[in-house]
């Protein structure tokens, strides 16, 4: 069934959010604050590891029947230019503002006006589970071949992440299921048409730039409002353009 991977992913986010919301009620505010900081550091470490694995490559050379290796980097200029140009475009469009407006609408419609962290929770959780190569690759596989394995794996990861984030940040995290459904659902529907563009190089660029953005989300969990991450999202589109041209 086409789209089943995204359906399972959305269900996992909601389940993780509900579990986190229930457990969060038993945590004092200082516990929630500590968990939030710990989640921030965990996201930074995971994103940093994934970023470095994309950037560093080992080159093997043979000289006089002796093998030698060296560590080299790749994609550095692409990453820098994509982030810089993406930030300029994102600031011009002011994507962060539209994210927050949608978060405000959700907060008001769900009767969560008393939750002062609702919008930040929604934005942070949405960026964490939407930005990354697994979302793109999994949705492409779902749409082209009906292979749901990548999105199933992502669903498990998202369940754990959203459960922890909801326990510390609140119910706003649960609604990250909406942008996941929209993003991955759209990619799945358009997968066959987008397949020629989503080359191995494009996926690699998305993974590199996307992991940097996830790292920024971790920074914001530790030091709130440090980076307007949503305003850097166009960097992913520019990273794909780099691969095409």
pLDDT in tens, 120-152: 999 999 998 988 778 888 898 888 888 888 899
The Cα angle at residue 150 between residues 127 and 20, in degrees rounded to 5: 50
Q: What confidence score (pLDDT) does residue 196 get?
A: 85
As a residue count, the chain comes to 245
Output the CA–CA distances (angstroms, integers) from residue 208 to 93, 131, 187, 225, in the order listed.
23, 11, 19, 23
The backbone torsions φ and ψ at residue 72, rounded to the nearest 5 degrees and listed phi first, read: -130, 165
Domain map (residue ranges) of the chain: 4-57+72-244
Q: State the pLDDT confidence band at 75, using cuts at 50, 70 and 90.
A: confident
Pick the closest to residue 169 from 38, 10, 42 (CA basis).
38
CB atoms within 10 A of CB 168: 24
CB atoms within 10 A of CB 77: 10
CA distance 112 to 33: 20
Q: Is 172:99 a contact under the CB 8 Å cutoff?
A: no
Pick the closest to residue 32 from 171, 126, 130, 159 (CA basis).
171
Q: What confidence score (pLDDT) does residue 98 get?
A: 92
pLDDT in tens, 145-193: 888 888 999 999 899 999 989 998 899 999 999 999 999 999 999 888 8
Q: What confidence score (pLDDT) does residue 58 get?
A: 73
Q: State the pLDDT confidence band at 55, using cuts at 50, 70 and 90.
A: confident
The arithmetic mean of pLDDT across residues 42-62, rounded, is 82
Q: Is 158:214 a contact under the CB 8 Å cutoff?
A: no
Output the CA–CA distances (angstroms, integers) from residue 103 to 22, 66, 85, 100, 112, in the order listed.
21, 59, 26, 5, 11
Q: State the pLDDT confidence band at 203, using cuts at 50, 70 and 90.
A: confident
Residue 92: DSSP 8-state: H
Pick the closest to residue 127 from 223, 31, 216, 13 (CA basis).
216
């Amino acid at each position: 069934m086409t789209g089943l991977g995204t359906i399972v992913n959305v269900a996992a986010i909601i389940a993780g959010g509900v579990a986190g919301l229930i457990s969060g009620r038993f945590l004092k505010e200082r516990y929630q604050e500590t968990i939030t900081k710990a989640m921030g550091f965990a996201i930074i470490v995971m994103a940093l590891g994934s970023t470095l694995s994309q950037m560093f490559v080992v080159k093997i050379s043979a000289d006089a029947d002796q093998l030698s290796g060296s560590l080299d980097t790749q994609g550095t200029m692409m990453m820098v230019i994509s982030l810089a140009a993406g930030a300029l475009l994102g600031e011009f469009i002011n994507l962060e503002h539209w994210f927050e407006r949608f978060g405000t609408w959700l907060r008001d419609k769900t009767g969560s006006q008393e939750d002062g962290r609702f919008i930040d929770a929604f934005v942070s959780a949405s960026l964490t589970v939407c930005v990354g190569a697994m979302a793109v690759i999994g949705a492409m596989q779902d749409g082209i071949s009906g292979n749901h394995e990548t999105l199933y794996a992502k669903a498990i990861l998202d369940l754990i992440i959203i459960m922890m984030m909801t326990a510390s940040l609140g119910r706003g995290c649960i609604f990250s299921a909406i942008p996941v459904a929209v993003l991955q659902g759209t990619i799945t529907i358009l997968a066959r048409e987008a397949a020629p563009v989503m080359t191995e190089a494009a996926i690699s660029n998305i993974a590199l730039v996307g992991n940097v953005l996830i790292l920024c989300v971790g920074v914001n969990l530790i030091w709130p409002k440090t980076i307007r991450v949503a305003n850097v999202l166009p960097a992913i589109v520019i990273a794909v353009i780099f691969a095409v041209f």
